Amino acid sequence: MIVKIYYQDTDCGGVVYYANYLAYFERARTEWLNEKGISVKQLAEKGLLFVVRHAEVDYKSPAHYGEILEIHTCLENIEKTRLAFSYKIEEKQNNRLIVTGKTTLVCVDANLKPQRVPEEIRQRVSE
C-alpha cells in the first residue's frame, strides 16, 4: 500500500507524528484483508469485529512531509481467536526503512467476547 505524507500527518518539524504509524498499519491491514475478499465493514455488520490487543512500533528513520511511503503487510500467525500481523514501512524513492511493527488482533462479537476466527476467514487469509 502506498501513502503520501501530507502536512496534517506531521509535527511542527515536518516529521511524521509517531502515532500516525498505527493508523497507517490499520489502513494497510484493512487493504490487505480487502485483497483477500474480507470486508471489515461487512463483518462488523454481522457482529464480528477484530480489535487490536497488542501493538509494537520500532522507529528506524523519520519520514517527512511530501515523501511517499510503501507499507508491506504480512500475516505472521493465526490462532484460535487471534491474527498476528507484521509491517514494514519504507520511503519509496530510496527504499529507506522507516518503521517496522506488529499488531495482534482478537476476534470478538458485538459484546467484545472473544470468538473463534471463522473458518472462511482462515481459508481466505491463508491463500
Active site residues: 11
User: How much helix, strand and coil, in percent to the nearest 5, is found in the chain?
Assistant: 25, 45, 30
Residue type, 66: G
Rounded Cα distance, 64 and 10, in Å: 7
Distances (CA, A) of 2 to 5, 43, 59: 10, 25, 18
Q: Which three cell numbers stand for residue 50?
A: 477484530
